[in-house]
Structure 1
């Protein structure tokens, strides 16, 4: 059994990040007898300047990317379909908002030390995309952290600790300097960069190649 380190740079309000992860999960399931994945999640804030309360998602996409309402509807239909294919439920609605995710990333980095990062990451994706919860609401974040087994009081301290906010910013800066400009970015074995939500077949192919190279050395 070969252990493969997998670093995933993502944001919790990025729909392609959960699709990319679910496709990776499917590829790893196929290779479950050959590869043991050691997954680490890393922060990438898509909207670090958004104020508390966020912004209407459709208006945000129009302002930031020039996305028309028609294009937005088409994109949502595509994401709904792709979500169904990988077993994830997207529920988009007209007044859906997008949020600043700095505090969510503070909790995720801290949760890694307690072996709860993966669970919290999935809980955040579900809370935002399936249940429409606010990703900058402290009580929402604390509820989710508590649900995966983290201590609420400690988590509250992390949310108010400026050093954790700086750790998120510094980590993001390191990834930017490493050439990561968009998410999801998946790095296999600290050498192979996979950009975007690749198909399960593509991911499977790269993982098999890594596995076979390891077995020939």
Structure 2
């Protein structure tokens, strides 16, 4: 069994409505499996759209407003992400009526799930809920349903969202990463020292893991 010092720590700053976050994670996961690296993953909150109203916004309209993307460019981007996702075993089901959501409540629920050892499971379930199932992550009832689906107590999840008990903790975590210069996601920090941003691809992650292993030796 590897010693704690040999276990690779990976901190992932991410948002559950970020397509490149799930793509980057899936690419990294494949590279980790191929390398056999002993590792531990820690997820951290980032809001792509902290000022998004509770009702959310049509995704195509949102992308056009935020990035100046044309309808054709948006369609091309969705097609590309869908192809990459399929290769990684993740299904993107984009649709014209798909919406972008405020994810502050989702991050609070993830913070709570971490206390029960289910943060990673909930993170993955929320990615699927948004991109594959097109569920409304702005709705506390939907968030509680997803939490229940990974084995957490639905009533407790609703209570966490109702009283916002972890709001300050999540804000503090978000601000801490912003203060370290994180402005886009996914941002992956290996062994608390080596920052890699964006979805790098399986082969690049393999090379990164190999370099880290050499440095450890």
TM-score, structure 1 as length reference: 0.95
> How do residues 19-168 of structure 1 correspond to structure 2 at under 5 angstroms?
19-32=23-36, 35-168=37-170
| Cα deviation 1:54-99 (Å, max 9, x = unaligned) | 0000001111111110110110111111111111100000111000
Return the alpha-carbon distance in structure 2 between the equivalents of residues 87 and 44 of structure 1.
Answer: 24
Give the match's secondary structure for 1:193: strand
Return the alpha-carbon distance in structure 1 between the equivalents of residues 155 and 29 of structure 2.
Answer: 32
| Cα deviation 1:2-33 (Å, max 9, x = unaligned) | 3111100000000000000000000000112x
Select 1:13's aligned residue among 17, 35, 56: 17
Q: Where do 4+ consecutive residues of structure 1 move more than 6 Å?
A: none
Give the match's secondary structure for 2:166: helix
Return the alpha-carbon distance in structure 2 between the equivalents of residues 5 and 17 of structure 1.
Answer: 18
Is there any run of 5+ residues in structure 2 with no aligned partner, and where?
none
Is there any run of 5+ residues in structure 1 with no aligned partner, and where?
none
Give the match's secondary structure for 1:208: helix
TM-score, structure 2 as length reference: 0.95
- Please tell me whether the aligned partners of residues 45 and 107 of structure 2 are also in contact (alpha carbons under 8 angstroms): yes
The equivalent of 1:190 in structure 2 is 192
Give the match's secondary structure for 2:7: strand
Please report how far the alpha carbon of residue 212 of structure 1 lies from its aligned counterpart in structure 2 after TM superposition. 2.3
Please report how far the alpha carbon of residue 53 of structure 1 lies from its aligned counterpart in structure 2 after TM superposition. 1.9
| Cα deviation 1:130-150 (Å, max 9, x = unaligned) | 010011111111011011111
Total equivalences in the alignment:
213
Give the match's secondary structure for 1:64: helix
